[in-house]
Amino acid sequence: MNDAAPDQARKAPREPDTRSTGGTPGGILGTFRDKGGALFRSTEIDARLFGLVVALGISWIAFDFASGIWGQGGKSIFGGSFLTPRNLWNLSVQTASIAVMATGMVLVIVSRNIDLSVGSLLGFLAMIMGITQKEILPAIIGFENEFTWLIALGVGIAVGAAIGAGHGFIIAYLGVPAFIVTLGGLLFWRGGAFVLAEGRTIAPLDSTFRKIGGGTDGSLGRLSVDLGLGSETLGWVLGIGVVLIFIGVVVHARRRRRGFGFVTRPLWAELLVVAIGVALVLGAIRVLNAYPWPIRVAERFAEARDIPIPEGGLILATGVAYPVLIMIGVAAVMTFLVRRREFGRYVFAIGGNPEAAELSGINVRWTVMKTFTLMGVLVAISAAITSGRLDAAVNSLGILNELFVIAAAVIGGTSLAGGIGTIPGAVLGALFMQTLQSGMVLIGFGTAQQNMVIGAVLVAAVGIDAAYRRRAAT
């Protein structure tokens, strides 16, 4: 866990050069014919991702207003409780599990497949990891061993990879449609989760494993304090690291383009993109650092450490939670896989035209099997996040998650026809889905209304996207 920071810093989550992602080279070219459009175009910001960010911004402000009116009220700029550091911190943690799976679902859908089993598999793998750490390992290395979390996570990932590979093998080599295989998986693994523990709840979990799910202890603020630094330190180190890498990537890309004699963005556009990126990253760090430790948690911490509590309470920054670091790390690695490795190119080629891909020498079956294996690994990571956060493994964990994951990928611009999709889009899609869900709880909407809204938004998002594509095609 502790080395997740440098890990995720390896690559900035946002990159200006979105052209080569997926099968939309130049998709936005020719769409905007007016002058403003031309200016926008020269920034090379993906118009569809941009639209999603705008929708996200609008819904955040709307929820904040609404929660001020219908909720218990709050003290944010619009009078509600949505745009408070606490809620945004919650939102970031709640998004992580779905977002991690959604990055894998993008590849699955892009290669013209689907995975309906992820929710059930999440329940099954959470149970595997729970049993490993609570019932198998204690007999060998005792409770609360410092390696317990790592072994449990490793076992979960290995089993997840094996199950994913199994799904992939049946789909790719035995020719059973992915819809059927994973529909079977949906039933099978949910039942399997029940059988594993005979319906029992495995709790509480290992205290280090729990940090994978976040909480005050599972955040950079606590780690900073433990290292003897100010509680905000590591958050800023992370933010600045990401910013530097981001700038490095932009500069590198510009040099390369010039080296190949390609058209480069105008300097002002380059600077604008950098400025927006830097502002978003540092703004996010600022907000997450602004969420202080809950009063009682801080008090207990002070008691345990014999620290006097200053007047006005002990204010420590919670900072970026580990599940969010994991999410950023996964998104960065997946983006790298998609855009810089053969594997990613192959997946998009298969989605664009399977026959052509086959004829051009791509091992289609092997590639498809790999996407499902990867999906299994990502589900295991999400299972660790969800069960760590709940501090329990329960066989009902992850119910309906397959629908949220698929919806996140689709809202993020992944086409169910295959061949099109982006990793950052899927993460934003997950964030949007979670925004709707937790926002509606804040304003007191019930489950029925929530489901209606989410359903309508899903259809609207895909509808707008389809209309946009048609326009772009003409």
Binding positions for another protein, rule: CB under 8 A = 67, 71-72, 74, 81, 84, 86-87, 90, 94, 183, 186-187, 190-191, 194, 198-204, 214-216, 294-300, 386, 389-392, 394, 396-400, 402-403, 437-438, 441-442, 444, 446-448
CB of 417 to another protein, least distance (A): 22
CB of 234 to another protein, least distance (A): 20
Closer residue to another protein in complex, CB, 68/425: 68
Closer residue to another protein in complex, CB, 117/373: 117
**SS3 assignment for the chain:** CCCHHHHHHCCCCCCCCCCCCCCCCCCCCCCCCCHHHHHHHHHCCCHHHHHHHHHHHHHHHHHHHHHHHCCCCCCCCCCCCCCCHHHHHHHHHHHHHHHHHHHHHHHHHHCCCCCCCHHHHHHHHHHHHHHHHHHHHHHHHCCCCCCHHHHHHHHHHHHHHHHHHHHHHHHHCCCCCHHHHHHHHHHHHHHHHHHHHCCCCECCCCCCHHHHHCCCCCEHHHHHHHCCCCCCHHHHHHHHHHHHHHHHHHHHHHHHHHHHCCCCCCHHHHHHHHHHHHHHHHHHHHHHHCCECCHHHHHHHHHHHCCCCCCCCCCCECCCEHHHHHHHHHHHHHHHHHHHCHHHHHHHHHHHCHHHHHHCCCCHHHHHHHHHHHHHHHHHHHHHHHHHHHCCECCCCCCCHHHHHHHHHHHCCCCCCCCCCCHHHHHHHHHHHHHHHHHHHHCCCCHHHHHHHHHHHHHHHHHHHHHHHHHHHC
Q: Which two tokens stand for residue 233?
A: 């330190």
Closer residue to another protein in complex, CB, 20/451: 451
Closer residue to another protein in complex, CB, 126/377: 126
Closer residue to another protein in complex, CB, 56/249: 56
CB of 371 to another protein, least distance (A): 23
Closer residue to another protein in complex, CB, 40/194: 194
Q: Which two tokens stand for residue 449?
A: 């209304």
CB of 429 to another protein, least distance (A): 18
CB of 378 to another protein, least distance (A): 17
Closer residue to another protein in complex, CB, 45/430: 430
Closer residue to another protein in complex, CB, 123/329: 123
CB of 8 to another protein, least distance (A): 23
Q: Give the closest residue to 200 by CA, choosing from 265, 127, 251, 151.
A: 127
CB of 382 to another protein, least distance (A): 11
Closer residue to another protein in complex, CB, 50/188: 188
Q: Give the closest residue to 217 by CA, choosing from 301, 286, 144, 145.
A: 301
CB of 472 to another protein, least distance (A): 33
Q: Give the closest residue to 420 by CA, choosing from 11, 45, 38, 49.
A: 49
CB of 291 to another protein, least distance (A): 11
Closer residue to another protein in complex, CB, 189/346: 189
CB of 34 to another protein, least distance (A): 42
